[in-house]
Amino acid sequence: MLDLIDIGVNLTHESFAADRDVVLERAAAVGVRRLIVTGTSVTSSVQAAELSASLPRTLYATAGIHPHHASELDAHSIEALRAVSEHRGVVAIGECGLDFFRDFSPRDRQLEAFAAQLKLAAETGLPVFLHQRDAHDAFVGALRAVRSDLAGGVAHCFTGGRRELEDYLELDLHIGVTGWVCDERRGGELRDALPHIPLDRLLLETDSPYLLPRDLRPIPPGRRNEPAHLKHVLERVAAGMDRPVATVARAATANAVRLFRLGDADLEPRDA
């Protein structure tokens, strides 16, 4: 039986409200035994922390504000995230970063929010859960300025090619791979980069309920992605890296445990 960790699951999404327990049962049945619930706003970060507290040693959480919501961030938001980060099971700051593809928040606000969350990560000693789309140079520049202060991080949902990969590895980041690798239309650069991802840098994620693998059959009702499909992502990644599935699974799990200090998160809570 596999022992997998899905490092990026939007389990607070409304599409999971009616059957979250069943979703977790399906995941466990194929070996996805631990999941990190992504926080993308103060509200969803609180919800993610509450979920992690309800299933310790199975669910963990991140606390952050996605660049889409950067306009909402202020001093009160940072203090709210700091409070959430003290909860047992919260293992990273983020999802934070830059998204110049959609620009749902002005770019100057995105840069301010990103810098504030990187500072919070440095102060809390937690790694960062990072988002970047069409903002590579600005993203790398912001990270380089503070990288020595950070406990590590993951380029969540990496979709780039060799250039982006080399920059992220130079920053000593982990690389999160999703079902994007299964997309015959858009995943070519990622598939080309897969053999160049060091095994000790690889992490696996579904980004559920988004990014349903396009080659998954049968297609789930409503095309909702879920953590059980991490096994499918694993198999495609292993094939692209030309490595045994079991080898890739063991490495990705060990990397997640190490980066997010999951053993530490199972010890005494950081707050009362």
Q: Is residue 270 part of a domain?
A: no
| pLDDT for the residue numbered 263 | 82
Q: For residues 227-241, give the mean pLDDT.
A: 98
Structure tokens at 108: 């100057």
Domain total for the chain? 1
pLDDT digits (tens, 9 = 90+) for 107-151: 999 999 999 999 999 999 999 999 999 999 999 999 999 999 999
pLDDT number for residue 207: 98
pLDDT band of residue 265 (cuts 50, 70, 90) is: low
pLDDT band at 5 (very low <50, low <70, confident <90, very high): very high
Enumerate residues 6+ apart whose C-beta is below 8 A from 169.
175, 198, 201
CA-closest candidate to residue 180, choices 145, 211, 149, 140: 211
Reply yes or no: is the peptide bond before residue 195 cis, omega within 30 of 0: no
CA–CA gap between residue 153 and residue 144 (Å, rounded): 12
Candidates 147, 138, 149, 152; CA nearest to 97 is 138
Residue-wise pLDDT tens digits, 14-67? 999 999 999 999 999 999 999 999 999 999 999 999 999 999 999 999 999 999
Q: How far apart are CA 187 and CA 116, in angstroms?
A: 32
Residue 271 lies in a domain: no
Tell me whether residue 272 is in a domain. Answer: no
Please, which residues have CB within 8 angstroms of residue 230's CB and are 6 or more apart in sequence? 4, 6, 27, 30, 32, 204, 205, 206
163 lies in some domain: yes
**Lookup: tokens for 127:** 């790694």
142-150 long-range Cβ contacts below 8 angstroms, 24+ apart? 142/98, 142/111, 142/114, 142/115, 142/118, 143/118, 143/171, 143/173, 144/171, 146/118, 146/119, 146/122, 147/171, 147/172, 149/118, 149/122, 150/118, 150/121, 150/122
Reported confidence tier of residue 272, pLDDT bands at 50, 70, 90: very low
pLDDT per residue as tens digits for the range 89-106: 999 999 999 999 999 999
Is 222 domain-assigned? yes
Indicate the pTM of the whole model. Answer: 0.96
pLDDT at res. 271 = 46
- Average pLDDT on 156-162 reads 97
Lowest mean pLDDT of 132-136, 200-204, 264-268, name the range: 264-268
Q: In what order do the strands lie in the sheet with 202-204?
A: 4-9, 32-37, 59-63, 90-99, 128-133, 153-155, 174-177, 202-204
In-domain check, residue 68: yes
- Domain residues for the domain of 34 are 4-265
Written as six digits, the tokens of 6 are 């899905």
Are 239 and 251 contacting, i.e. CB atoms less than 8 angstroms apart?
A: no
- Residue 268, pLDDT above cutoff 60: no
Which amino acid is it at 130?
L
CATH number at residue 144: 3.20.20.140
Residue 19, domain member (yes or no)? yes
Sign of CA dihedral 49, 51, 54, 56: negative
CB-CB contact of 259 with 203 (8 Å):
yes
Total residues belonging to the chain: 272
Whether 187 is in a domain gets the answer yes
